[in-house]
Structures are given as C-alpha cells and as structure tokens.
Amino acid sequence: MTDKSARLRSDATVRFARNPAERPGRKSCTGWYQSIKAGDGLPYESLLERDALLLLDFDRDVAHFSVQPETFVWTEAGRQRRYTPDIRLEMADGKIIYRQVKLATRLAADPTLGGRLPAIEAECAARGGRHEMWLDTDIRRQPRLSNVRRLRAAVAVLAAENLPAIRTIITHLPFPLTLGATAAALGGQAVHTNVVLGLVAIGDLVADLDRPLDENAILMPGTGR
C-alpha cells in the first residue's frame, strides 16, 4: 500500500462510522461518489445507494448530507445492539433526518429491522431527528433519476474560465425560457445544451426535475449552490 493510499484509508476511517467501499463483496457494488453538494467523495455499497446520493445532490430541500455518519449502540435485554444509518440529512428548514436506503422487497420481509426499529427511532429522536426508510421504488422514480444523471455528467463541460461570460449572457435573458431557447442564446450547438444542463447542476438555473429535461423544459434563474 502506498503512503497516499494509507492516508486515504485513514481519512475515511475518521470521516465515516463505517466505510462500505472497503468491504466489496460478490453480491455488492461498492465505490465512491464525488458529491457536488458535500464537496467530497462519499462511499456507497450498492448502486441503489449511489443513485440515492446522486438524487440528494440535486434536492433543493436538502442543505447538506453525510453518509455512514455514526453508529448507534444500545443495550436491549442484556444484549448490545448496533445500527449505522446510511445517510444523515440536514434539511433547508433545519430538520434532521436519518435515512436508510432499502429495497422494498427486503423491507417487506423484515419491516422492524430485526426488531431494532423502535430503538433506532428513539436514538434518532434523541439526536433531534427522525428516521426514514428510502425505498428503491422512490429512488428510481423517473424521469427524476435520469434527469439528475444527465445533470451530474453535464458539470464536466463547464470550464471555469468561461463561466463569467456565460453568466453575463444568462443574466440578460428574459426568463422563464425553455431549455432549447437558452441553449440557442449561448450559441445553439449541441454542446450548449450540455452547458445549460451544467448551469442547472450548479444551481445557476432551476428546472422541474420531475418533468423531462427536453428542449421544452422551462428554466428559471437560480441562486447557485
């Protein structure tokens, strides 16, 4: 192991109660997601968790989020029990939510999380928050998931040296405008559609992500991130 790899592992140990990216298995898909909102790489242990992190990056109701934030430990009937929430959310309205990413079929098979759910909810309440299950049926709802995938990819086309000029053009446009009209104002080439999507991704523009992001999508000015 290189010194750099050792430092990364040490940093991850400090930042996360558990690091699923270090525990790959035959039936799991672990890795790191580079979050725009968190400004950091975040570990995930399934593609469903990766999709969940992607959605949070573009959820305007979420001010900040962290993964594997802490492990709850309590004693029940003389036995030590443990639970590590997948995600801790700080909402724009100040509320705290601990969220568990789960397949609906698995929750149906074990709705009390092995009998731990009442204690888990009490632990969350003691921290000033509440506990939620976030199911695959919600996470993978379309077209939102496809939209945020496009937005995350479009960030790569934004060049820092070009942003001031682009923003100058944007500030003089008569919003609301369609995505197609906004791209045309920037030059009308295929790359300009991705530039507009990148501006949505970083919060300069706002779109309804529950509707298709086609050329007729309505855009409004945003406030940035």
Buried b (16+ CB within 10 A) or exposed e, 41-52: ebbbbbebbbbb
Q: Which of these CATH numbers, 3.40.50.10790, 3.40.50.280, 3.40.1350.10, 3.40.50.620, describes 3-139? A: 3.40.1350.10
Q: For residue 157, what are its two tokens?
A: 């086309």
The C-alpha atoms of residue 188 and residue 178 are separated, in whole angstroms, by: 13
Locate tokens 């992500």: which residue? 209
Is the pLDDT reported for residue 166 higher than 60? yes
The C-alpha atoms of residue 86 and residue 19 are separated, in whole angstroms, by: 11
Q: Record the pTM.
A: 0.86
Residues of each domain in the chain carrying CATH 3.40.1350.10: 3-139
Residue 139 banded pLDDT, cuts 50, 70, 90:
very high
Is the pLDDT reported for residue 133 higher than 90? yes
**What's the pLDDT score for residue 10?**
43
